[in-house]
Homo-oligomer: A and B are copies of this chain.
């Protein structure tokens, strides 16, 4: 059972995992160095623990203790309890639903193990926005995709904001980083997947047509701003577009992913 530790001093060194949550660069370094990630909000904290991640500690306002009592019962990590105002001083922002957990990252699985048994896979090249990464995991999970592969520069799906927007989908959806950007798509083709790049390229066909009748599909998505790299766009087995109204040529990447996942899952 988690030990409840009341904290009254915001400089307490035991709160180190929770400092300055709005400073993205600082957090990236700290989380990488210590191999941790943060979950925020009762639902997401519960899902992280239920998915088997080991908690380093919890931090919450007194009124959230009851809601998470069952989770704390099953954990050996300390639970730091402090007034909401003090929690905000430590973290630098309003803590959503008053609860946070710091959890241990796990070694990333191999690409092979993530792809084993998967029939529909999302491949994200350089999605830089954590909100979009979280939204894509959530839509992929809800709409029948089996795994997610991330190019080396894609934003971290275990960053607090990604997890929150994704409602914890990153805990249950198998995913990993692609070690090799250069040959990632040919490697997927060799592994038996048809790679379908979402793009506005001239030879792109409607997404329904691109995925019709395919068995294993890897849906490939580019960056929010400039889309896919030339290399990936050309390396994909097929190029596909979501048909849009005349004169409009773009959807938000999260919206486009939702539509593409829905269509692909029904191929």
A positions within 8 Å CB-CB of B: 135, 138-139, 141-144, 165, 167, 242, 244-245, 248, 250-252, 254-259, 262-263
Contact = CB atoms under 8 A, between A and B. Distances in A.
A175 to B, nearest CB: 16
Nearest to A165: B252
23 contacts: A135-B254, A138-B252, A139-B251, A139-B255, A141-B245, A142-B245, A142-B248, A142-B250, A143-B245, A144-B244, A144-B245, A165-B252, A242-B262, A251-B258, A252-B254, A254-B255, A255-B255, A256-B258, A258-B258, A258-B259, A259-B259, A259-B262, A262-B262
Nearest to A244: B142
* Secondary structure call for the A interface: helix
Contacts of A251: 138-139, 142-143, 258
A166 B117 CA distance: 38
Nearest to A166: B252
Best-buried of A144, A248, A256 by chain B (most CB within 10 Å)? A248
